Amino acid sequence: NMKLGGLGPDYEAIKEKKQKLKLQKEYSRQIHEYNMKNIIVVQRLPAKPQVSSVSRQKALEYAKKIPRPKTFIPRQSDHEVKEERARPQAPNGTILPQIPSLESLWSRHEKEKEVVAAFKALHIL
């Protein structure tokens, strides 16, 4: 009288697993209830005790007594101040850069014309 495996579901094994899961859930529920009733709320970690740090206090006092280095701010000469006043300003108040002289612009223009002519002679442009 042997029982061989079949193609359908094994209802007996499913019932056993279902009963086992039901018992596990019931046990976990009971433990949870017990813990909620009997465990006092865990206090947070106690704060660190205030230790009077003598060395820290000494260091802070020393730091207060040290003279701070003075920053060096160079004064502008009268000539530079006059130049700043002479610079044109935009309507929004920003100072525009100084315009180079006409001669320097003309010489630059002539040099650039020569360079362009050289490129044209070489048929690069």
Higher pLDDT, 80 or 31: 31
Residue 89: strand, helix, or coil: strand
**Which alpha helices (DSSP H) does the chain contain, by range?**
11-38, 54-65, 78-86, 102-121
Give the chain's mean pLDDT: 78
pLDDT of 103 > 90? The answer is no
- Residues 1-56 have pLDDT tens digits of 676 767 777 888 899 999 999 999 999 999 999 988 887 655 556 666 665 678 88
Locate the domains of the chain by residue range: 10-45
State how far the alpha carbon of 95 is from the alpha carbons of 12, 64, 69, 76, in Å.
94, 41, 32, 17
